[in-house]
Structure 1
Amino acid sequence: MKELKFYNKDRDGNTKVCGSMTIKNQTDSSADLFFYGDIVSETWQSEWYEDDMAPGDVKKFLDQLDGTENINIHINSGGGSVFGGIAIYNMLRRNNAHKTVYVDGLAASIASVIMMAGDEIVMPKNATVMIHKPSASYFFTTKNADDLRKDAESLDTCQEAIMQTYMTKAKVDKEEIEQKVNDETWLTGEEAAELFDIKVEEANDAVACAGSSMFFCYKNVPTSLTAQGKNAKKKDEQRPLSRQDIKEIFNESFSEYQAREKEKKELLESLNKYGERKQNG
């Protein structure tokens, strides 16, 4: 087994594992790849490969699958970094293996984009997919109207790239998918199969939907998923923030903001180059 853990800091500044990528049962002809937990890591904030637009640790990890004939991709994730997720999708699509994606419990937000990398997508009736508009969060950050308009344009570009990805598997027209995205739509296996080319299997109780720190970003999280998070909070009551806590959070948030700005710029440049290549081709 090979594993790449994703780490992020909680509100107390403690670095904790928030998710992972794992390769299991690898042979010369096949491998199982698992995306469990949040697909985001503090190590991605400034480390990007210029050619692939992928976090360096992710690229190195996924390169281990080169030459594999069949890859079974298992997803149970509440989402994560839109930039990291798009990069992972692109890397998986470029891999020549036959890829079968299994939604073990949940494929929300950017995890639903990674799901589209499969040549086949398999999903139990009681698994969940969520599609929504990409968003930017602001914490202790001041922006003027020009900054916000620029961010809105960046998010529109990201959404268009995501929409193009969804349409590769869509069974309905773009307008219907886009309306679901705009509304933040949570779908069961059967509902998702009405929109996308997905094979639905019988309900599977073996894997519970992943809890996620991303849930606070969403507006329509099903109560069945939020209940898990509420129970976890009761076990780990959070202490009040001190003045020093607030100062440290501000410093970290500003650094993260600068990193996100860099990521957005690089992704947009990559998308522009991709558009130019399509026009010239």
Structure 2
Amino acid sequence: MRNSPRVMAMARPGALPVPADRKISALTMPSVLDRWSEDAAGLRALAQGDATITMFDVIGEDFWSGGGITAKSVASQLRAIGDRPVEVQVNSPGGDMFEGIAIYNVLREHAQPVTIKVMGMAASAASIVAMAGDRVEIGAASFLMIHNCWVMAIGNRHDMAETSEWLAPFDQAMAEVYAARSGRSAAECAKWMDAESYMSGSVAIERGFADALLPADQVKVDDDAKAREQSANKLRSMELTLVSAGMSRSQARARINEIKGTPGAAPDDGTPGAAGDQTADIQADLTSLLAAVTGR
């Protein structure tokens, strides 16, 4: 009997156009989360107007930090702003592609001009959000990253072929969004997606993904926020590793919380050193756990 691919999901049950026994979600790769945490996490605007929306978090609800940017929250902020031009400041590693597409459409439906400012990184699903801007500005040292729809799956070659076929229209949809904003062909954008391309400010402008550079003095680094996000990213990576080893998402979270000794707790909001020490202890325990689960 052939088993269906085991693919991790963030979306609500029934929210995806797939059979009920299939769980698939398009997520940011762990390597992107690591790079965001190391190079760009914790960026904050020095001055924000009352018509500014900040997206300094993952796209979609985030179990580990209790945060996340959702289409529902963005729509609520737009209603509060009203019929005025909006500025959206972005520093995000991405997250759930489907939530990113929803946020993109919510912003595109706003009746007044939308200016997107990439303050640190707009990767994966966050790059889709960035394409919603009537004007897109990016820091000289900021990055926009695009790649193909990314999932985790377990199964035989037939399962993998079926999953690949299922993913194809979503990659095409993303390529068309990038093409519409940049003026490049969908085929050219698809090649950049295949290469998992990181575009600096000048490259993003050259390729049409952005219109202009940001003044360098508009952002500063918040080291405490950066340390907290690094801790949260490590927990997310641990969760992905356990799922890839055969656990369900709920089992992985329960096991990590059991090791932490504080079920249901989010990452430590204390000092950066304390968070790092706690995560190191969890990592050591998980190494032993994975050896038991995988037999290696």
Aligned mates of 1:203, 1:56 — CA distance in 2: 28
The answer to which structure, 1 or 2, has the higher relative contact order (CA under 8 A, 6+ apart) is 2
Aligned equivalent of 1:35? 55
**Structure showing the higher strand proportion among its residues:** 1
- Partner AA of 1:125 in structure 2: A
Q: Which runs of 4+ in 1 moved over 6 A?
A: 214-217, 242-246
Using the size of structure 1 for normalisation, the TM-score is: 0.59
Aligned mates of 1:133, 1:75 — CA distance in 2: 20
Aligned equivalent of 1:238? 281
Instruction: Say yes or no: does 1:201 pair with 2:213.
Output: yes
Q: 1:235 to 1:65 in 2, by over 3 A?
A: same
Aligned equivalent of 2:73? 58
Matches within 5 A, 1:1-281: 25-26=49-50, 31-41=51-61, 57-58=72-73, 61-62=76-77, 64-65=79-80, 67-138=82-153, 142-201=154-213, 204=216, 206-208=219-221, 213=233, 236-239=279-282, 240-241=284-285
Aligned mates of 1:195, 1:243 — CA distance in 2: 43
Unaligned runs of 5+ in 2: 1-40, 43-47, 64-68, 241-274
Aligned partners of 2:178 and 2:209 also within 8 Å: no
Identity percentage of aligned residues: 23
Q: 1:67 to 1:150 in 2, by over 3 A?
A: farther
Post-superposition CA distance 1:118-164 (Å, at most 9, x none): 000011211111111111024xxx43444323321222111111111
The alignment of Structure 1 onto Structure 2 pairs a total of residues equal to 197
Unaligned runs of 5+ in 1: 1-17, 44-53, 218-231, 250-281
Using the size of structure 2 for normalisation, the TM-score is: 0.56
How far residue 208 of structure 1 moved from its aligned partner, in angstroms, is 4.4
How far residue 72 of structure 1 moved from its aligned partner, in angstroms, is 0.2
How far residue 102 of structure 1 moved from its aligned partner, in angstroms, is 0.4
- Partner AA of 1:98 in structure 2: P
CA RMSD of the aligned region, Å?
3.8
